[in-house]
Every structure is written in C-alpha cells, then in structure tokens.
Structure 1
Amino acid sequence: MRSKKKILISSILAAIFCYVVPANSATTYQQGKSYTAGQIVVGTDGNQYQCKPFPASGWCGMSASHYAPGSGSHWQDAWTEISNANTSDNNQTPTDNTNTNTNNSNPGNSSSSNTSGSWQANKVFVGGDQVTYNGKAYKAKWWTKGDTPGSANVWELIESPNTDDSTNNNNTQDSVNNSDNQSWDSNKTYSQKGDVVEYKGILYENQWWTKGDTPGNAQVWKKIGPAPDSDDNSNNTEDTNNVVKAAVTVTGLGQNTETVIFTSIQDSTLVKSYEFKDGTNEINLPVGNYSIIDASPESSKLLKLDGEIVAVTKDAQITLAYENYTSDEDHSEVTNSELEKLLPFSDFEKAFPYATNGACTAKNNGLKGLYDGLIAAAANFPSFANPEAIPDRVAQSQQQKIELAKREIAAFLANVSQETNGGWATAPGGKYAWGLCFIEEVGCQNGGCSQYTDQNPRNPAHKGVPGQFYHGRGMIQLSWNYNYGLFQDFYNEKFAGNNPINLLANPGLVLRDYKIAWTSALWFWMTPQPPKPSAHDALLGIWRPSNDDLNANRVPGFGMTANIINGGIECNKGGNTESYQVSNRNNFYTRLADIIGTSTGDNLGCRNMRSY
C-alpha cells in the first residue's frame, strides 16, 4: 500500500470565515503563545494587531521571526494592524464608536472631538475620527484604512470641517500629497503589504512584495481610488449591466474581420470583465455588435462599433476573476483552448499510456475522458499554461513564453504523476510511464478508510457524512472531510452554476467527474498559501523570493513546487542527493518535458531548500 500524505488546501477559502472583534482589551503579544482568529494583541511597537481569520490564524502563534505582529518577516500574513500608537486614539478597535462627540462648536478641544486632519490613504482611522478631503469634512463610522472619503460607506459627510479656518481647504490636498503618498518607482522595492503609491492620478496599495510591477496592470496592486490632486470620479460608477469593460487603445484597422456580439458582462466562456482605456483614460463602451480584427496572431484584437476603432489587449492580459469562468454545464463546449494547442491528445497518450490499464483506477471514459476533463478544468484557470498570461518581465519573446507554458504543463503533470503513479522498476514502459494510474488511494477503493474523517472541523458545515469516506481521490489525492468541504464550497461558488455538488455526501464525484478531479488539482496548483507562493508562480518565475526566502535557498524552479507541495518531508535533507520523492518528481518531469517539447529550466531540486 502506498502511503498518502494529507494535503491541506484551506487558505483559498479564508474569505468564507468571519469573526467578531472581542470586547476585551488587548494583551501584550507573547512569542510561542497560541492565538485565535479575532484576538487582539499589542505588539512591541505599541500598535494593536488582530489575528486574521482561519486559516491564517494558525500562523499567529508561530515563529516570532516570521509572524510577530509588526516585526516578523511575514507578519502581515497572520495579523491585521488595527491601531497605530501614533494615531489619535490607539486603544480603539475596528468597532463602531457610538460615543463620539460630533459637536463642532469647540473644534480645538481634542477631548470632545476626534479631528484627525486631512485624510491619508495609508493611515488608520477609527469610528468618530474626522478628516478633510477635497474641501469637505467626513467622519469615520468605524475602523478604516485606504477607503476614500466620498466613495466609501465608512465615511459620513458632515456639514463643515472641524477647523476654525474654512479657507484652508486648498491646503488639504497639498498635505495629503506631501505626507505619505509617493509616486510609483519601477526600480524601487515595495516589500511591505500596505505601501501606498500614486500612479497616473490613482492611488494603489500593494498586497505583497513587488518590484517593477506596474500599478493597474498587476494583481499585486490594489486600486484605492483617485489621488487627492486628481478629479474624484468615484461617483461615476459603471453599470455593469449596460457596459463592457476592457483594456483598449485607439489604433488602425487590420485585415480579417469577424462579427461577435458582446453581452452585458459576458463575451466568451472565459472572459467577462475588461477594463477599457483610451490611452491611460478609462472609458465606457456600450453593449452592441463589434467587429473583431486580428492583424496577426500576436496582435491585439480590434473592435469596431459605429465607426469607432479600438484595440483590445489579449484575453490573458486582461484582469481575470473567478467569476469569469465557465459553469459546469458548459464544459463540453470548451474546445481549442490554449492547452489543447500546447498539449494535443497525441502527446497526452504518450505521456500516460497505461493510465487505464490493469489495476489502475482511472478507467471512466478511457484516456480520452481523462484528457477532456483536463481541458475542461483548465478553461476555469485561463492563466494556467497560457503564453499570453506570462508577464514580459519573465519572458520577452513569444517563443520563450510558449516554452515556459509547456514547461508548466510538464511540471504540473509531473507532480500529479507522483501522486498517482502505479509504476515499478521493471514495469512496461518504465516506472515513470504509469502516472494517472491510481487516482484513488490504494487500499481504500472499497471503503473502510475512516481515518480521514474529523468530526470537529473548523467549519461545522464540513462534518463528515455517516457512511462516507474521505480518503485520497483525484489528481492530487484530495483527503479529509474538511478539504472535501472546502473544495466543494469553492467549486460551487465559482464553477458549478446551477449544478452545485455535494462532495461531503458524495465524495466519489471526484472520481466519476474528471473535470472536478482536475479542478481540485489546478485549484491547489494556481493558488498561493501564504507564506507559500502558488506552484504556478514559483515554477514560472512570476514569484520573487523575499530576503527570508533567499536565505532559505528558496528560488523559482521545479524544486520549489516540491517544497510547496510536501517540503516538510521531501526537502532540506542536505547532502549531495535529493530525497527519493524529489528524484521521482524530477524523473517524471524530465520525461514529460521531452514528450511535450520543452526544457526543464534550472533549480530542479530542494535538498538544501528550507521548508515552510
């Protein structure tokens, strides 16, 4: 019997958990002490921090060098700063302050008002704080940071600012501009989450370490709103039922024309949401019949409506969200995807010639069924193995991007093969030709593996169903009832449409529906689990290691994917040879790269790479 590791894939759905701020006062942070979601502590800097919801709450009590609030190298993965010792009231928590004096008759008396001066995007404000912004005065209803007055519900407009000099409004914007907001610098490293920059009149806040990623074009930057010295267009909200959004620039006309109808917010099975721009200015385009012209395979698409010519960047360069993916009932219609071009069925047959033979458990609909399930699942993750989704800073030429996309296919399937291998030393075709054989845990096919049931999961809705077993199934061997529940919730929210699944009551669906099985694997592959990057980003070099990562010898490449998946067991062994698990992964990878027609890149191992 092969032993199966338990893979926890919980961080993706942290947003479904919520917590209530406790009423008790904060305690001083102590290294090594366990903390629960929502618990508030005072850090060594005097600021207050709140432990984030599950699963991030698991890090709150871990290594102080990594997770001590305000000072650890990855503290922002575990804690949220809720008050600053330098703000007007550092003892308040993110709760509504109903005891605030809003009388403006004595503006100079700080004991009867919470005047905080001009609004600053990177400053914490609590309930009752009053600020000025664009010549108007606002009062915070509750805790806030980065929410622009006038465009966020947290701010209440009051009649006049809490100041004796109402003519000082013109100085308000100057004070904001000259305080902490800085212009984005492509050569500067922004290492701390929460750094606020101004770029082309818009304020952005970084979500993790970044250097060289342009605000507005990279997911690392979260848009806050107009910079104080720009026109506040926040009230000009777009009606997503009446406009299509995309990144566009005015350009000339190409050759071949085809007509496509853009619906209100959905234009294809893969993309619903675009940002339309004329140069750097966002614009709205009405719904209607557009002509699409592709001058060359590498060109942007051109749109034409009522004589107006605009160009749309390639789909993969457009910001995509999970809401844009095809629903389950549509997957049979997904054809000619980028993955089909880079991994034709003929190569898939060479890669997995024995997947449905003998005692292997992957037999539904034959090898073509396995392949079709992968293509359908990949349509839900358009950045996977897509040359057009690879940033220019990673690869410049189209040929380089195609090579990297093929490399990702080989790396992903190599790790899947490691989890599902049925080969042995003298097996026909060799040990590494038997990937995708055991997509159900050996020894558990007939039930009875009750050891994977936890009746006290963090989410009570994920309790096991009597008579059901939650052993390893699928391409990454999804195990434990709470992981089945987490993936079920994720799948239903993002992909299922009108066909929700219940994996807790029917875990065997992971075996019978190959789209579900492959989706669980791609879900794990594509999603970061802080402080770990996603395997996708680590393999392609999109992820940029921090100083802490570099000190731990964590660098982009195939070896890093093994660290992400099972580094605690397989990596950091030292010596001159890799663990046998990593050696197996490398052998799968080399074989698959040769079949698909790509290189393996550098940094294939992790023997000297510290695990997380």
Structure 2
Amino acid sequence: MSRQRLIAFLTALAVAVGLAVLVPLSSTASAADCAAAWNASSVYTGGQSASYNGHNWTAKWWTEGETPGAADVWADSGACGSGGGSGGTTGGSGCSYPSWVAGRSYVTGDVVTYTNGLLYIATHDNPGYDPTISTWYWSPYTCSGSGGGTGGTNPSGGFVVSEAQFDQMFPSRNSFYTYSGLTAALSAYPAFATTGSDTVKKQEAAAFLANVSHETGGLVYVTEIDKSGNYCAAEPYGCPAGTYSYYGRGPMQLSWNFNYKAAGDSLGVDLLDNPGLVETDPAISWKTGLWYWNTQTGPGTMTPHNAMVNGAGFGETIRSINGSIECNGGNPAEVQDRVNKYESYAAILGVSPGGNLSC
C-alpha cells in the first residue's frame, strides 16, 4: 500500500472510531508577527505588547524603561517573525543574533550580526544605521555563549535613563554635558545603575543625577562661579598646575588638588597636571562625577553608590557629598532642593523614591 493510501486509511479509521485526527504541521509554519519594537522611553500598561530580541513581550502592569527579558514586568509571548522586527532572533539563544538590516529601527540593547560576521549592540536608539559607520549608535559586542556578553556602554545592555528622559530632566543644560559623554563614562564604573532590582537601578541613577543637578544648577555650570579660593592643600606632590587651578569642575564639581590626583589615578588620566580636562572632555568630566559617587565616602560613612544599593536612602548620598554643611540642620533648604530634584527624576523614571530622603 502506498504511503498516501495508508495515511488516508488510518485517517478514515480514526474518524470511524471517534479518535482525534493529528494533522502533521507544515514544515513551513512561521512564528507570529512581531509587535512594534520596544522603546525604553515609551510607557506600557498591562496587556500591551512590544517586540524585543526576536520575541513578543506582554506587559503585566505599568512599565517604562524596563527591558523585556530582564524585568519581571514582562511576560514572554514567544518568538516572532523570521528575523524581522527590532532585534528579531535567528537562533533564539546563545550567540545567535539576527542579521542587521539597514533602515530597520533598533532600540538600545538590541544585538545584531553584521555582514562581516561580528556582533554589535545598539548603544542608542537608531533607525537602522550601519554599525561600522555610526559608532555612536553601535558598539562591538562579545557574546558569552549564554545570551550575555560584553560591549556597549554598560554591562546591562544600556543605561536605565534614556536620552529622551535625560533631556526632560535637563532642558536647559550646557551643551558640554552630553548624554553620549555620560554613557561613554559608564564603563569606568560598571556597578553604577546596574546593581539590584530594576527599581534600585533607576533610583540610583535618579539620585546621582539629582545631586549633580544641584551641584551644577541643572547641568548649566561646568566650572564653579567663584574661582578665587585656594584649592591647593599641602601634599607631597604639590600643585603642579598652579595654585588656583583646582577649583570645582564637572558634574560633581571636583575640587582640590588631592581629589584631582586621586580621581586621575583611578581613571588612568593625569588630572593633577591637566585639571582642565574635567571641563573640556565630556566623558572624563562625567567619569570624575562617577568616581566620587562610586568610590568616595566624603564626610559620610558610605559611598553614595552603597547608600542607594544597600537601602540607606537618598539622604545618605547628601551626607557623603556635603556632610554637616547641609545635614543635621546645617542647610535644610539645600537638602530640600536635592530631595525635590530626586523625587522629580524618580517620577520621570517611573519609580518610587523610597524612604530616608533627608539627612
């Protein structure tokens, strides 16, 4: 009996005895269509869908900026497309990523395989720019073999603050303080805004940006207004750049020769002899702010980074920056200004500011 007649006979027999008929699936069946690409600056409410890395994802509840697959707020609705959509997958896991397609929209964190066989990660949202030409939008990516990898500006695949949110926080900022300068600086301190839950990551980013906003008048001032003070303490290495050269610069207004020496040593840049780099190089400037935030306790008992990731609260970041000058009744108006900015930025990022806001 031929194969076709055998299938027909068995099907008829199954129908006769009331059994369910199993029809072989077509080998050409395709995955579901991809939903609109996930966007870090868009708000999604429960039930709304977005595509990311070759899968459709459904929001369980309100979310903004939380990456599908990395946050519990998203439910995986399965593979989509056939390499289509933003970040559509060709292999689903491991080191298999979709081929880059010119003109297709990508969001921060998307990983693609370029025509040269190398991987690239989107460091900024873009409408399909060439990864080997538009290096501000793409960075080389090294796969670990389990869907992870290194590359881009941040080990988590992108900063928790989008450029649109950054612009909303600092509408009148000095053009020196670029978003690209900030994201380029993140690799120097990979634990910043990547530690803990998605909420903690956003709280830390909001706390850092609130403090630098206070220090710089909303990222308006690159250097402090009054430069007449003596910022050269007696140290073995002296003040090679000049007695009055170590005034406040950058997002955390780095001051004094010993801080320039320590920050430069940490970053591998000679800031003792070249303090002006903090006011001329955006990435170095941002790195000095992150240096203080992640490594210095100042007049406090912990680094601002540890204060945020270990639950001590925003108030302890103020203490680590200005201590009794503002805290313990020193200057409640200044403290409140920092708190107001933090609450505002946390709202932009869609998270609660948490407790212990004041010092």
The CA deviation string for residues 382-423 of structure 1, in whole angstroms up to 9 with x for no partner, is 11111xx32xxxxxxxxxx111111111111011111101xx
Partner of 1:437 in structure 2?
A: 220
Q: Which runs of 5+ in 1 are unaligned?
A: 1-253, 261-267, 270-288, 295-300, 302-313, 316-332, 357-362, 391-400, 422-434, 493-500, 543-555, 607-612
The CA deviation string for residues 558-589 of structure 1, in whole angstroms up to 9 with x for no partner, is 11111111121111229xxx701110001111
Partner of 1:599 in structure 2?
A: 352
The CA deviation string for residues 276-297 of structure 1, in whole angstroms up to 9 with x for no partner, is xxxxxxxxxxxxx987133xxx
The CA deviation string for residues 315-356 of structure 1, in whole angstroms up to 9 with x for no partner, is 8xxxxxxxxxxxxxxxxx834764735211111110101012
Give me the whole-angstrom Cα distance separating, in 2, the residues matched to 1:490 and 1:581.
30
Task: Give the match's secondary structure for 2:145.
Answer: strand
Taking structure 1 as the reference length, the TM-score comes to 0.34
Task: Report if the CA contact (8 A) 1:259-1:291 is conserved.
Answer: no
Which 4+ stretches in 1 moved above 4 angstroms?
none
Distance 1:463 1:353, change over 3 A: same
Partner of 2:253 in structure 1?
A: 477
The CA deviation string for residues 181-209 of structure 1, in whole angstroms up to 9 with x for no partner, is xxxxxxxxxxxxxxxxxxxxxxxxxxxxx
Q: Pairwise mapping of residues 509-520 of structure 1 onto structure 2 (< 5 A)?
A: 509-520=277-288
Task: Give the match's secondary structure for 1:463.
Answer: coil
Distance 1:571 1:340, change over 3 A: same
Q: How many Å apart are 1:478 and its aligned residue?
A: 0.9
Give me the whole-angstrom Cα distance separating, in 2, the residues matched to 1:603 and 1:467.
40
Distance 1:338 1:354, change over 3 A: farther
Q: Work out whether 1:453 is the aligned partner of 2:232.
A: yes
Q: Work out whether 1:258 is the aligned partner of 2:95.
A: yes
Task: Give the match's secondary structure for 1:505.
Answer: coil
Could you say which structure has the greater relative contact order, defined with CA pairs below 8 angstroms and 6 or more residues apart? 2
Letter of the 2:167 partner, please give it: E
The CA deviation string for residues 116-160 of structure 1, in whole angstroms up to 9 with x for no partner, is xxxxxxxxxxxxxxxxxxxxxxxxxxxxxxxxxxxxxxxxxxxxx
Letter of the 2:262 partner, please give it: L
Q: Work out whether 1:350 is the aligned partner of 2:172.
A: no
Q: How many Å apart are 1:541 and its aligned residue?
A: 2.1
Task: Report if the CA contact (8 A) 2:241-2:275 is conserved.
Answer: no
Q: How many Å apart are 1:464 and its aligned residue?
A: 3.3
Task: Report if the CA contact (8 A) 1:450-1:469 is conserved.
Answer: no
Task: Give the match's secondary structure for 2:353.
Answer: coil
Number of residue pairs aligned between Structure 1 and Structure 2: 226
Q: Pairwise mapping of residues 359-508 of structure 1 onto structure 2 (< 5 A)?
A: 363-364=175-176, 370-386=178-194, 389-390=195-196, 401-421=197-217, 435-444=218-227, 449=228, 451-454=230-233, 456-457=234-235, 460-466=236-242, 469-492=245-268, 501-508=269-276
Partner of 2:340 in structure 1?
A: 587
Give me the whole-angstrom Cα distance separating, in 1, the residues matched to 2:226 and 2:294.
30
Q: Which runs of 5+ in 2 are unaligned?
A: 1-90, 98-119, 122-141
Partner of 1:564 in structure 2?
A: 320
Distance 1:380 1:336, change over 3 A: closer
Q: How many Å apart are 1:529 and its aligned residue?
A: 3.3
Task: Report if the CA contact (8 A) 1:440-1:474 is conserved.
Answer: yes
Distance 1:403 1:466, change over 3 A: closer
Q: Work out whether 1:538 is the aligned partner of 2:307.
A: yes
**Percent of residue pairs identical:** 37
Give me the whole-angstrom Cα distance separating, in 1, the residues matched to 2:245 and 2:297.
26
Letter of the 1:604 partner, please give it: L
Give me the whole-angstrom Cα distance separating, in 1, the residues matched to 2:252 and 2:154.
25
Task: Report if the CA contact (8 A) 1:468-1:505 is conserved.
Answer: no
Task: Report if the CA contact (8 A) 1:462-1:482 is conserved.
Answer: no
Taking structure 2 as the reference length, the TM-score comes to 0.56
